Structure 1
Amino acid sequence: MILESFKHGPLIWPTIEENEVTRTKKYAELSAAEKIQADCDMKATNIILQGLPADIYSLINHHIVAKDLWEIVQLLMQGTSLTKQERECKLYDAFDKFTHIKRESLHKYYLRFTQLINDMNIYNMKMEQFQVNTKFLNSLPPELSKFVTDVKLLKDLHTTNFDQLHAYLEQHELHANEVRLMRENNQYPLAVVANHQMTPPHFNTYQSSYNNPQLQQ
């Protein structure tokens, strides 16, 4: 009955004579079969609307008849093949260029990667599990490199999914952050030495005499 709504249009609601006036029957006045068909008409409309991309939905959501909706959708969707191809190219490019953002937590990195893979799956852009896992691991920051090497030895990247890789690495994120902070702090003494070497000699002499009363005399 839902298919009938798509093909031939909705139920033509029967009329009734009342006080010498013809009016359309209310839902409560329909027969059992007519009520079922009226419900199927509504379901048919909802099925179409719920399955549409947002840009198409915004153009036709004011229509309420399933048959009209379906005919308009068919016309509109004919022009989306090029758009789909362009979107696929952009997603492949985003996958190729995907990388960790400085100071980004592992969890946020994982969420961004998950969103990208989900978008690719929507377009049936299937990739080998090994390829996805390798991209996920190789784009992580240097402080996680030791644990990335460990997980590559422990896990089979052909069968493991990147959700499991994330769960393993998350256990070591705190230690990795400590390693990063140590590296950053170790750069500070070098900067101090460099600045000291660049200080003019007469400035050091002045400072020494200022702090030594005997030299001041």
Structure 2
Amino acid sequence: MLNVLLVEDDLDLAETVIDYLAIESISCDYAGNGVAGQKLLADNSYDVVLLDLNLPWLDGLTLCQGLRSSGNDTPVLMLTALDRLDDKVAGFEAGTDDYLVKPFELRELVVRIHALSRRRSGQVQLLRCADLEMNLKEYMVIRAGRNIKLSPIAWQILETLLRAAPETVSKQKLTDAVWGDNPPDSNSLKVHMHHLRKAVDESFAQPLIHTIPGRGFSIKEGEQK
């Protein structure tokens, strides 16, 4: 079952959406203002966030910006009565992934939820694991305040691992993410993983990149060396 968060100050609309999503087997948490939504996002994991633009206490754009700056890549569907191009541009710049203008058809809402739930947001600009930070906008990787230089392929591998963290990423998925339809020989991934581990873990007490036997690789906090 999909689990979404609805942040909407129109109670009538919220009740209608929640009831319809329940019929479609989609679980929905609810917040009536931006601050409450922010707290729920900090405490829970969701497949999709349904976010009203005009909210009391903390508006939708600011909430979305905070979500992205913290490294959260949950897809965001912005719900708004504003359909001007400038408003949509502002939403995308804040980190939203899709727009639905009020009033909208509930069937269309469900279709968009399912579409967004199949991918993580590409809008996030900062990925984190423990003391490791990957800034996609500035194209920088920093661990414990130290700059880490990576090759383009190592960068793609690390980004793929961080976007999935702490879940395991299969060797096939990593190969597809880096090389697409032109995979190299079988040893290439092994070699690049070796260099990535050396760059990210070698000088630090706590390794972050882990081999999961028979499954692939993951990046997460582990035991001391």
Structure having the larger proportion of residues in helix: 1
- TM-score, length-scaled by structure 2: 0.23
Structure having the larger proportion of residues in strand: 2
- TM-score, length-scaled by structure 1: 0.23
Larger Rg belongs to: 1
